[in-house]
Each structure stands twice: as C-alpha cells, then as structure tokens.
Amino acid sequence: MDIVTKNERLFFKLLPVVAPIILVVIFGVLSYFWYVSKSALTPFETILTNNKSTVILCGNITLEKTPVQIAFKNLEYTKISGTHPIDFYKLSVESGVNKSEVSLGQDSNDKSMFWLYSKTSKIKGFTLGYIKSEYLKDNVGQCS
C-alpha cells in the first residue's frame, strides 16, 4: 500500500466521527449569534412598546413612535448580499428612567433599509437585524 491509500483510509475512518462534531459546533455558534441578536434587542423593543416612551433619532430629533414600531415589528434577520451600511445614526427610546439605544446603518443601495447594531454588544460589527422604513429614511436627513 502506498501513502495516499493509507491517508484516504484514515480520512474515511475519521469522517463519520469528525463530521457530526463539526456540524454541532457550527449549529451551536449560529444558535448563539441568533440568541445574542434576539436578546440584545429585547430591552429596546420592550421600552418601545411602552405607552409613555419617546423615540429619539441622533440624540435630538423626536420621532413619531408608530412608524418606528411598525419597522421593528417587521424586523428581518437576513437580506440579499452585495450591500453594506454607509451612514450610521443613533436611535434611542426612553421611558422614565429606562433608556435603550441601537445604532442604525443606512444601506448603501436601499436607503430605506437600516442595519441594526447594538450599542452595548460585546461582538462589534455583529448585525442584529434589518428594518425597512421610509419614515426613518426621511428623517435621517435632519441629523447633523
């Protein structure tokens, strides 16, 4: 037997053992990121649903709450590739002493699409989701 045949045999012996381990690790990592994205938005969405909450864009522009609630209700976790965020804006929601904020990255192609980033995430650059909002698109022009 030559060396290639021995390596091939070893490969086919280890494949049934190693392949499931790799799949479990990949599934675990993906599940963790999905959980992080869901839990990172929970405080924001909770305060947003409060009747007395206020939505503020760029630290000084008060927005109507209903269009923002609609955008977050239609939150997506995937999008077609080929674009990237170009301009970033702070969106915060406040109710009494409770405050939460996210960073919005406006899409390079679809100006009404915004990439969501957590302001407190330990994973920098990890996209929490995507929202579409003509209302936000129309209002980000007021940010300085």
* 62-98 tens-digit pLDDT: 999 999 999 999 999 888 889 999 999 999 999 988 9
Six token digits for residue 115: 């990439």
Average pLDDT over residues 58-62: 93
- Inside any domain, residue 16: no
Total of domains in the chain? 1
Average pLDDT over residues 40-50: 85
Query: Given CA atoms 112, 116, 117, 118 in this order, what sign does their dihedral have?
Result: positive
pLDDT band, residue 106 (cuts 50/70/90): very high
Domain coverage including residue 49: 41-142
- Inside any domain, residue 49: yes
User: How far is the C-alpha of 136 from the C-alpha of 140, rounded, in Å?
Assistant: 6
- Inside any domain, residue 34: no
